[in-house]
Structure 1
Amino acid sequence: MYEPSDHTFVVCAYGESPYLRYCLDSVCNQNICSHVIVSTSTPNSYIAELCDEFSVECFENAGAPGIGKDWNRALSHVETPLATIAHQDDVYLPEYAESLLDCFNRSKVPLIYFCAYGEIRGNEIIDYSPLLNIKRFMLSPLKNPKHWKSVGLRRLILSFGSPISCPSVSYNLERMHLPLFNEEMKCSLDWDAWERISMLRGDFVYDSTVRMRHRIHPGSETSHLIEDSTRTNEDYEMMCRFWPRALAGCMNRLYSLSQKSNSISK
């Protein structure tokens, strides 16, 4: 049985995000007490002061920052079997850690836990939208725990896109091949990770309740990558893992329409 002491939130901090405080507040005030640490490749006094305020340890990474590098470095600082990479712009509802432990303990061989998520746009909380509803529909077969272990089902789901929100995921590091993320990719590295993990023996543990919210804003890395077509190109390569290239191209053009919902006008 997993206990609260078996789980760590590792918050990836970059620059001087005005949202970092809200993220730290959300992970430090869960219904159960997990470990909380911060990992940064851009150490500065702003991050250091917030870490002092919330009494969390900050790990400073050497070398140039990069999404894959930063996520791999973040996981390398974790000393517990379970870990959540918390993105500095996002917030976790108080029940998140409680839910992941409950769900992991219902699984004989858990690989990853993930939950439904909402969005924050400006001051507006959005838990339901056409895109969010589509992603939840894609994941709906996994609402039945009997389907968590089905390799074929989860690969079928992933063949149509990536409905799993990266910051909603917790990893059973005892079952992962580390480093986990492809550092050559810039945007679809989470989809790439799910695709590789999907072939492992074990469970994709899903909670269909909204347990965290992802912030959409102009300064986010996702918005930048959409603007320069990085995401479209990497998504096409992911589609090619499941479909013939010609069909993958058609499907990717449809899938790219979802990018409009992941960006915001400046």
Structure 2
Amino acid sequence: MYGPSDHTFAVVAYGESPYLEECIQSLLSQDVQSRIIIATSTSNSHILHIAEKYEIPLFINEGRPGIGHDWNCAVGYCDTDLVTIAHQDDVYLPAYTRAVLSAMNNSELPLIAFTDYGELRDSKPVDVSRLLRIKRILLSSLKNKRHAASILVRRRILSFGSPICCPSVTYCRPNLPDPLFFEDMRCNLDWETWERFSRLPGEFIYLPELLMRHRIHEGSETTASIKNDTRSREDLTMFEMFWPKAIAKLVARVYSTSMDSNQL
């Protein structure tokens, strides 16, 4: 049975985010308190001050910075079986840890557990939108526990896009490969990770409760990737993992229109 001491929030900090402290505060406000660390490739006084203020262990990454590298480093600093990679701009609702621990304990072979989510736009909650509705529809089949372990169902869901919100995911490390992430993608490394995990025996545990909020803002990696077309190139690469090239191009073209809602 997993308890709070078996779980770590690994906060990946970069630059001088004005939202980092709000993220930390949301983790400290969990109904069930687990461990928290901060990992960064851009050590600075802002991050150091917050780590000292809240007495949170701070780890400095070595090697060439990059999203995949930074995420793998953050996971590597954790000595718990369960890890949530918390993005510095996002916030977690108080019941997140308790709900995820319960879900993990009710699974015979958990791979990942992830939750429904809302957005923060101009610091205001947005819990209903076209994109969020589509993602909830795609994930609805995973509410059935039998489907959580179905490779066919998981791959069919992922073949239409990536409805899993990356910062909502908790990883069960003993049942997953190491390292968790490949480092060749900038935007879709999470989708690529779900694609690999979808082939493994075990369960994708979906909690349909809204338990965290992902911030959309001009400085986010998602917004930047959409603007410089990184997302569109990597989207096509991903769709070609599920479809013949001609169909993949068509699906990618339709999918790209939904990304408009990730811009302000």
Name the TM-score class by shorter chain: over 0.9
1:158 and 2:158 correspond: yes
**Aligned partner of 2:99: which letter?**
S
| TM-score calculated relative to the size of structure 2 | 0.99
Deviation at 1:79, TM superposition (A): 0.4
Q: Which residue of 1 aligns with 2:10?
A: 10
Deviation at 1:64, TM superposition (A): 2.8
**Aligned partner of 2:90: which letter?**
D
Q: Is the 8 A contact 2:66 2:183 kept in 1?
A: yes
1:218 and 2:187 correspond: no
Q: How does 1:186-197 map to 2 (within 5 A)?
A: 186-197=186-197
Q: Which residue of 2 aligns with 1:103?
A: 103
Q: Which residue of 2 aligns with 1:57?
A: 57
How far apart, CA to CA, are the structure 2 residues paired with 1:203 and 1:224?
32
Q: Which residue of 1 aligns with 2:38?
A: 38
Deviation at 1:28, TM superposition (A): 1.5
Deviation at 1:146, TM superposition (A): 2.3
RMSD: 0.7
**Aligned partner of 1:170: which letter?**
T
Unaligned runs of 5+ in 1: none
For each residue in 1:185-232, what CA deviation from the matched residue of structure 2 results, as whole angstroms up to 9, or x when unmatched? Answer: 000100000000001000000100100000000011111111111010
Q: Is the 8 A contact 1:28 1:54 kept in 2?
A: no
Deviation at 1:123, TM superposition (A): 2.8
SS in 1 for 2:22: helix
SS in 2 for 1:17: coil
SS in 2 for 1:37: strand
Determine what percentage of the aligned residue pairs are the same residue: 52
Deviation at 1:53, TM superposition (A): 1.1
Misfit runs of 4+, over 4 Å: none
SS in 1 for 2:38: strand
How far apart, CA to CA, are the structure 2 residues paired with 1:236 and 1:8?
34
For each residue in 1:48-70, what CA deviation from the matched residue of structure 2 results, as whole angstroms up to 9, or x when unmatched? Answer: 11011111100001233211111
**Aligned partner of 2:242: which letter?**
F
Q: Which residue of 1 aligns with 2:238?
A: 238
1:69 and 2:69 correspond: yes
| TM-score calculated relative to the size of structure 1 | 0.98
